[in-house]
Structure formats: C-alpha cells, structure tokens
Amino acid sequence: MKKDNRNTWRAATRAIHCGEEKHGIGAPVTTPIVRTSTFTFSSTAEMKRWAEGRSKAYIYTRYGNPTLTVAEEKVAALEGAEAAVVTASGMAAISSALLAVLKSGDEVIATRQLYGGSYRSLRDILPRFGIRVHFVENDLAGMERLLNKNTRVLYTESPTNPTLRLVDLRKAAAFARRHGLVSIVDNTFATPVLQRPLALGFDIAVHSATKYLGGHSDLIAGAVAGNEKYMAEVRKMVIYLGGSMDPEVGFLLIRGIKTLELRVERQCKNAMVVAKFLERHPRVARVHYPGLKSHPDHALAKKQMSGFGSMLAFDMKGGIGAARRVCDRVRVFLLAASLGGVESLVVLPIYTSHYKMSAKELAGAGVSPGTVRVSVGLEDPRDLIDDLKQALA
C-alpha cells in the first residue's frame, strides 16, 4: 500500500482517503471486510521471522487485520498521530492506554470530572493492581503537591461528561512534560475535528469510537492514538487482554469516519440552537454548553477548540421530578444512554453514566439530580425545538 501524503490534506480528505489505496484497475472504492480469524504463512521460515519480530505479517485478527489497519490509519491521520490502535470499546481503549504505561506501585493524577465509567475504573479497579489514583479539579490546582517519584500518568477529559467543563490542555500537557509524566486525554466529546490534543502537547488521545467516530449508533468501538512507541505498548495490552475489534465493526467505523466532519459541523449548529432555546426557558435553571457566553469555560473553548461540539446538559428547576418528566415526554429526542449519533438523545446521568456515585462525587462532577444530558443529532433544529417546547410545557 502506498504511503498517504496525509500531511498536506485537510481533515475531511484524511477521513475519506487515508489508509486506503483506491487507484488502479479494479481497486475497490470501499474497504473490504477481511472476515477471518487467522492468516496463512507461506513457509515456516516466514513464521520464524514473525516470531522474531522481523515480519509484520498478519497472523491472527486479535493481533491485527487489514480492515482494522485502515481504521487505525484514519484515526491516526485525524489526530495527527504517528500511529493508532482500535479496540473493542471505549473502555477497552482507556484501560489499554493506562495499562500500557502503568505497573504496580505507580501513581496517577486524574481530573475529577470524567465519564462515570472512567472515574469508577480509576477509583475501583486500578487500586486492585497496586496503582494509586489522586484526583484534582479541572483547573489543575494543587497538582504539584500530588507529585512524587511514583507518579507516572496525568489523565484528563475535555470537554467533560456531562457538564462540558474544559481543561486547559496546553497547561496540562506542559505540566506532564515538565515532570516526565505520560499525558492521556479522552477526546471523545470534541472529536479530532474540533480538537487535536497531540498538537497541544499530549502524548495519547483516547476515544469511545462508539460515539462520533462511528456516528450511527450501530457499533461499539474504541481508539487510541499517539506515537509509535506508546501504540506498540497499547497494542500489546489489546493482544494480551483481548480487547480487540471485530473486522465488521472496523468496516462500520471506517464508513462512519468518512462523514465525521460533515456530521459534526451540522451537529454543532443544531446544538447552539438548542442551547440558546434552553437558556431562555423559564423552567430551566442552567444550561451547560461551552458555546454560550454564560459557560465558565467559554473563553477557553474558543482558544483550544475549533467548535463547541454538540453535547450539552441542562439543570431543571424542580430537580429530579421535573427532569424525569421532560425525558418521559420527548418524542423526537430519544431516551437512550449514548451520544454522537445522527439521532438526538436525552438521558439522566444519575441513572446512567454517573450511577453508583455518592452525593459528594456527583457534586464534584457537577451533576445534580435534575441534570439532563443531551446529545444533539442531525434532525431539523425546528423539530428539536418544537419537541423540547412540548416536553417542557
């Protein structure tokens, strides 16, 4: 396969063409699904070269597959990374990225406002393996006091799930680099279209590719992007722990990535319309959307993102009862626990992403019982507003 000249292409072109060689007689325009568990060797000599690390031949789909390679090259191109690894889920991407650089006795500094699954993994799972985790607020205050000779990783997420707070990624990356830490950021909400953390100094970006990269609510997938050294270690974790992607999912992910920029652009426009409507509604106490001037991180969003995204949240006057009534009354919006697809969704974080968290932890995450998280899709914005009007009436 010829090497893509991806450095001269813009994001939309990279998403469509990187990783694929389409020129030539009879070349397929779409990536074939290589539906196989194992691959043949031409000889035992070739098998020996592979075992010695002198061959990059495909051997077994858990180790790699031509369809998955295309997906990985697209993610790497979009993130501006040397390499990428795709995984069976977003949590497989996060756990593989962390375990690729951590061992027993190491310590992690993580921002407190994270996707609930990430937070619970850091809080409950890593300590089982002798890895200690310290949490800091999004402003990163006090990180220096948590540093010691065992600190290995800085982990963060921006914008955060579900209240869309931002972390100053340049500041975080500079801190990590200054102290020799591996910096990892969850870039799911922003996508590489709106934010490129590696260009801001981060070592690794992780994604729940289930969301915007796939974009159609029909797959479960994850992705990790960074330099070749780190990605080699991430791939080892995927191989050894089994979080590998199925080739058919890889095909669907490739298909989804090709329309990523177009979808995100429209979703951002729709989200701004929805956010402005909700901010004016008398039954809404507060809207969390970085595109609004009322958002505490609006200036930072303008500085480090090229758009404000299509995720938002709002707090209902009347608390959980009012929030439940809205979610039960919507008809265009769907009540479902995901995001980033073509359809608009609403969900209550206290029952989904942030379940099994104490009142103190919820407060630290900015989540109240009356918080409704919204993923804005591609519907006509007038229909979305009409639906919210009747649901809030």
Cα separation of 256 and 215, whole Å? 6
CA quadruple 10, 16, 21, 23: dihedral sign: negative
Of these residues, 58, 115, 119, 155, which one is catalytic? Answer: 115
Nearest to 368 by CA among 327, 324, 323, 315: 315
pLDDT in tens, 10-23: 999 999 999 998 88
The arrangement of strands across the sheet holding 334-335 comes to 284-288, 311-316, 371-375, 345-347, 334-335
211 is a catalytic site residue: yes
Of these residues, 211, 235, 258, 263, which one is catalytic? Answer: 211
Q: Any alpha helices (H) in the chain, and if so which ranges?
A: 11-17, 44-51, 66-79, 90-99, 116-120, 143-146, 169-178, 191-194, 228-241, 247-257, 260-280, 298-304, 319-329, 359-364, 381-392
> How is residue 200 written in tokens?
């801001």
pLDDT at 1: 42
> How is residue 385 written in tokens?
């507003």
Strand-pair partners of 157: 186
pLDDT at 4: 46
DSSP code per residue over 95-122: HHHHHTT--TT-EEEEES---HHHHHII
Of these residues, 168, 186, 246, 297, which one is catalytic? Answer: 186
Q: 132-136 and 311-316: which strand pairing?
A: unpaired
Read off the DSSP letter of residue 163: T
Contact between 157 and 169 under an 8 Å Cβ cutoff? The reply is: no
pLDDT at 358: 84
Q: How many beta carbons lie within 10 A of that of residue 351, not counting itself?
A: 14
186 is a catalytic site residue: yes
Q: Which residues of the chain fall short of a pLDDT of 50? A: 1, 4
Contact between 166 and 159 under an 8 Å Cβ cutoff? The reply is: yes
> How is residue 194 written in tokens?
């709106």
Of these residues, 49, 62, 276, 329, which one is catalytic? Answer: 62
pLDDT at 360: 86
User: What is the third-level CATH fold of 261-392?
Assistant: Aspartate Aminotransferase, domain 1 (3.90.1150)
Cα separation of 1 and 275, whole Å? 45
Cα separation of 79 and 197, whole Å? 8
Which residues, other chains included, contact 369 with Cβ-Cβ below 8 Å and sequence gap of 6+? 319, 320, 323, 350
CATH number of 6-257: 3.40.640.10
119 is a catalytic site residue: no
pLDDT at 22: 83
Question: What angle, 0 to 180 degrees and rounded to 10, lies between the N-to-C axes of helices 66-79 and 247-257?
Answer: 30
Q: Give the start-to-end residue ranges of the domains of the chain.
A: 6-257, 261-392
The reported pTM is 0.95
Read off the DSSP letter of residue 371: E
Cα separation of 319 and 212, whole Å? 30
pLDDT in tens, 43-64: 999 999 999 999 999 999 999 9
Backbone angles phi, psi at 391, to 5 degrees: -70, -35
Q: How many beta carbons lie within 10 A of that of residue 328, not counting itself?
A: 10
